[in-house]
Structures are given as C-alpha cells and as structure tokens.
Amino acid sequence: MTPGSPIDAEALERLAARALREVPDGALIGLGSGHTAAAFVRALGRRVREGLRVRGVPTSVATERLAHEVGVPLATLDEGVLDLTIDGADEVDPHLDLIKGYGGALARERIVAASARRLVILVESEKLVPVLGRRGRLPVEVIPFARPLVMRELAGRGCRPALRTVDGKTFVSDNGNWIIDCAVRPIEAPAPLAQDLRAIPGVVETGLFLGIAELVLVAEAGHIRELRRGESDRVTTAGP
C-alpha cells in the first residue's frame, strides 16, 4: 500500500477479523469511528448474528447508526467499565502515541477510550509516522462561544489554526462543538503541548491521545502487523 492510497476492502476485512480475536464473549466494548472502525463494526455484526454476545458503546452518531443497521446491541457508559475499545487513528508514532480527530469524533473517542480497560487501534500502514504531526494536522474541539479566544491562543503558540468547514459550512461535532484544525510541524514534545492546549479556556479536547493504546493492528500487504506497547512488533495472519 502506498502512502495516500485508500485501503482496500480485503485489507479492511483482514484487519477487522484480527480485531475480533480481541473480543471475548459477553464483552462490553467501545465502538470507534472512521472507516477502519466501521469495518470492524460490520464484522462484529456478523459475529453477533452467529451467536457472539456483546454490547457496544458508540463514539459517534454515525457509528451508532451503523451498529443498529448490522445488529450490534448498544449500551451506555452507565453500564460500567468497558472491557476494551476498538477504534482507528490518523497517526501512530513508534511509542504508540496517536493523533485522532480527522473525522471530528475526538471528544467522544477520548471518553470511551478512557472508560475501557484496553484500547486497540486499527490502522492502515500509511498512518504510521516517525513523529506525531508528520501529516501536518492536529484537530482541536472547541466550544463555539470560545472560538475567537481559542484561535488567538492557538495562533500565539504557532499552531496556525483554521476553523473546519464542510461544503462551505462550519463543521459541527456530535457534541454541538466546532473543530479547529491546527497546521503543525512534527511535534517533538507532544505531552507538554497537549497539556498546554487543553488548558486554554473553551478547548474541549485535542487530537493528541498519548500513552493509552495497548495494541495497534496495522493492515499491510497480505498480513496484519501487531504493535504492542513495550514489545517488539509481530506479523500475523488474521483469520476469524
């Protein structure tokens, strides 16, 4: 797979099949957002129809709608601690730190990930980067009222902010908030930056997800690569 090319359906199926091996019967799981997470939800629906007992907590309205369509029973965070969350990411560095939020679901994705004992990330190989920020974009979710302040503060930090729009209209998250996309250079110290940005009044969430992914499954040509925090990576097949 070359950088910038779309992931193919067969690779998505392999990725989803491998991720299903992480889901025990009776699990309460977080359901991520984005195209790789959607492939997993569809595969999970097939397993549910075959008898697997699970309940899912969706990270977006789109994922909730898809889960309904494929027959995955839904739950809420009131049910307790989740067994695991399976989600995608927009960047993954060698430490398994992440940038998320290109799809705009970052706040709910953070909450659901933090509610789970484990976070498993599904990505295509082009999402692997040597340093976070390599793709030049860092999403920040903000309360609309705070946009002028947050834009000034982000600009003052060299983040080159731009309000996200879709078809000429301001993008609105499922939480009713706006997304500011920061044009960034590679981020050599993501932890201090994340702390600094989240301290800005009106910032709801940033796309820096640090120190929380336990396992990253990477779709590569003909196989799935496993990256585990603190361990050497492994190459596996991804049967059901």
Rounded CA-CA distance 181/194 in Å is: 14
Confidence (pLDDT) at 144: 98
Establish whether 153 is a catalytic residue.
no
73 assigned to some structural domain: yes
Rounded distance between C-alpha atoms, residue 184 and residue 110, angstroms: 21
Q: What is the mean pLDDT of residues 55-77?
A: 98
Structure tokens at 125: 């190989």
Write the single-letter amino acid at 73: P
Q: Is the domain of 109 the same as that of 46? A: yes
pLDDT at 238 over 50: no
The answer on 49 and 119 residing in a single domain is yes
Are residue 62 and residue 141 in the same domain, yes or no? no
Select from 121, 104, 122 the least CA-distant residue to 207.
104
Percent of the chain residues past pLDDT 70, beyond the cut: 93
Let me know whether 123 and 98 are in one domain: yes
> Residues near 5 by Cβ (< 8 Å), separated by ≥ 6?
126
CA distance 169 to 213: 33
If asked whether residues 214 and 202 sit together in one domain, one would say no
**What pLDDT does 8 receive?**
73
What are the C-alpha distances in Å from 107 to residues 61, 114, 169? 13, 11, 21
pLDDT given for residue 234 in this prediction = 53
87 and 145 share one domain: no
Spatial separation of the C-alpha atoms in residues 167 and 152, rounded to whole Å: 25
Q: Which of 109, 141, 153, 205 is an active site residue?
A: 109
> What is the model's pTM?
0.91
CATH for 83: 3.40.50.1360
Q: What is the pLDDT, as a whole number, of residue 20?
A: 97
pLDDT at 185 over 80: yes
Separation CA 9–CA 240 (nearest Å): 16
Q: Could you tell me what percentage of the chain is helix, strand and coil, using 3-state DSSP and rounding each to the nearest 5?
A: 30, 30, 40
State mean pLDDT over 209-217: 97
Give the range of the structural domain holding residue 100, as residue numbers without chain letter: 9-129+210-236
Q: In 3D, which of 34, 209, 229, 67 has the Cα closest to residue 138?
A: 209
146 and 166 belong to one structural domain: yes
Q: Over 70: is that where the pLDDT of 232 sits?
A: no
pLDDT tens digits, one per residue of 72-117: 999 999 999 999 999 999 999 999 999 999 999 999 999 999 999 9
Q: Are residues 74 and 118 in the same domain?
A: yes
Query: In this predicted structure, what is the pLDDT of residue 60?
Result: 98
Distance of alpha carbon 51 from alpha carbon 79, whole angstroms: 21
Condensed to tens digits (0 to 9), the pLDDT of residues 120-129 reads: 999 999 999 9
Position 1 pLDDT exceeds 90: no
Average pLDDT of the segment spanning 11-37 = 95
Give the total number of structural domains in the chain: 2
Whole-angstrom distance, CA of residue 183 vs CA of residue 229: 28
Q: Which amino acid is at 219?
A: A
190 with 111, same domain: the answer is no
